[in-house]
Each structure stands twice: as structure tokens, then as C-alpha cells.
Structure 1
Amino acid sequence: MKSLTQGAHHIGLTVADLEKSAAFFTELLGWNEVARNEQYPAVFVSDGTVMLTLWAVKQEPSVAFDRKSNIGLHHVAIRVPEDSALDQIHQKLLAHGVEVEFAPEPLNGGPMRHMMCYEPSGIRLEFIWPGE
């Protein structure tokens, strides 16, 4: 059967600090801010392939997601264009005090490589080079 869908248009993430999360993507990773919605509020960012909608949390106190006990988003995996990009991202994150879960390493014996970190609101991100 032919798939009825064509990949992700965007991924919506609720974040604790809208400006810090937006800056993580735009300033550290070089993504573009596509739009803002001050009424919600939300910031839309894109790397040219995928768009993330960063929504400000509405209720305080907020509750952090726990991937081991909650149903929902486990992590977002972002593809990088080349192996060396993983090391560049890793160094940039460390230099800016971003929590890195693990440094770039082979995935399933390689040649794929990946790393995990947490953006400022605590959302788990994977950066992955598919080894192509």
C-alpha cells in the first residue's frame, strides 16, 4: 500500500522559556526564525528541512516531561549533513553550558553516529548522522 503521508510538516513543542529555547535553535544551531505568534505565544524555527513550533507553557507550575514514565515525546532526532557536524555541535553545546547526555558515538556499530542533549526547556534532542 502506498503511504498516505509525506513526512513531518512541523513538530510542536511546549517549552518553559520561549526565548531561551528559540535562541538555542537560532543562535547555537543557525536555524531561521520563520514567524512569531505573540498571542499564543509561539516562535516557529526551521533548518530549511523541518520546522519546529515552540509554544510557551500556559500554566505554572509547569510539569517536566519524564520519558521513562510519561506517554508522549521521547526525543526529537535531527539529521546532520555530515559526520563532522556532530563534533561541531557537541563542542558548541559544551561551550554554551548545554546539558549533553552523551557525546557523539557510533550507533548500532556504525557508521551512523549520534549524540543526545537537552535544549533549555529540558526537551531531549538527538543529533544524528546516518552514515551516508
Structure 2
Amino acid sequence: MSLPLTQGVNHIGLTTMCLEESAHFFTSLLGWQEVRRRDDYPAIFVSDGSIMLTLWAAQTDEPTHFDRKRNVGLHHLAISVNSKAALFEIHDRLSVRDVNIEFAPSLIREGPAMHMMCYEPSGIRIEFYWAGE
């Protein structure tokens, strides 16, 4: 069997309807860092130190919302958290900020792994996952 020709994810690019609000979701609510901006593109790059997201501004006033059950594309973005307490802290932070939470922290099958799901301001589905270790 041959070795893979790739070495993991470099970054993930997400098209947003609300560029500033989406960046704020990651930086202010989750504590990520804004790495840089490209006003000519326009894009905002954010990172948690492990992954980089490139948030792009949609180039239309009437963007098409993604339907995860009907369209091919990003079903959701799963982000790891390092503890059960961190998962519940994220839920608490998002709950008081009018974030659309699909479901609160819950066990995955019999556990101990847990996850929760929400939508960031542009409607992109985000999962927060704790492995239960």
C-alpha cells in the first residue's frame, strides 16, 4: 500500500453572507485570532492555532442558502474541543448571543463522546465535538 500524497488540511474556505458577523462568531465568541484581511477579495482569515478558516464574502445580494439534505457540498464543519467543560462553555456562550443552536451538548450513541450543533451567522452548520477522553 502506498503512502498518501497529502498531509492534512491547510485551510478551509467558507463563503459567507455576513463576513464581519461570521468573523466575529469565531473571534469574539470562540476566542480565535484574526490572522489577516484582504479587503480587495474580500476575506477574513481566522485561526484557533490548529486550523485556519478563510471566510469569503459572497458576491451577491441574494446568496443561495445551502440545503444539507439536497445539495452536494459542506454538510457541516466539525471542530474539536478538549474537554466536556469546554463544550458546555461554548453552548452557554452561544445561548446568550442569539445563535441558532440545532441541539445542545448530547452523547454520541452511548458516549462518552459528546457534540452539539449550531449555525454561525451566515447559516453554516458548525459541530463542536468532544471525544470523551
TM range (shorter): over 0.9
Measured in 1, the distance between the counterparts of 2:20 and 2:61 equals 17
Q: Which TM-score applies when normalising by structure 2?
A: 0.97
Q: TM-score, normalised by structure 1?
A: 0.97
Per-residue CA shift, 1:3-37, capped at 9, x if unaligned? 22221111000000100000000000000000100
Structure 2 equivalent of residue 105 of structure 1:
106
Compute the RMSD of aligned alpha carbons: 0.7
- 2:127 is the alignment partner of 1:130: no
What amino acid is aligned across from residue 52 of structure 2 in structure 1?
Answer: M
- Greater shift, 102-111 or 18-27, is seen at 102-111
Residue 51 of structure 1 pairs with residue 56 of structure 2 = no
Structure-1 residue corresponding to 2:16: 15
Query: Gaps spanning 5+ residues in structure 2: where?
Result: none
Give 1:54 shift: 0.2
Report whether the alignment pairs 1:67 with 2:81. Answer: no
Q: Offset at 1:58?
A: 0.4
- Residue 122 of structure 1 aligns with an amino acid whose one-letter code is G
Looking at structure 2, the residues matched to 82 and 22 of structure 1 have their Cα atoms a distance apart, in angstroms, of 24
Aligned-residue offset at 1:131: 1.4
Residue 41 of structure 1 aligns with which residue?
42
Give the equivalent residue in structure 2 for 1:85. Answer: 86
The total of aligned residue pairs comes to 132
Q: Any runs of at least 4 consecutive aligned residues in structure 1 with deviations exceeding 4 A, and if so which?
A: none
Identity of matched residues, %: 58
Cα displacement (A) at 1:109: 1.4
* 2:5 is aligned with 1:4: yes
Question: Offset of 1:51 from its aligned partner?
Answer: 0.5
Q: CA deviation at 1:73?
A: 0.4
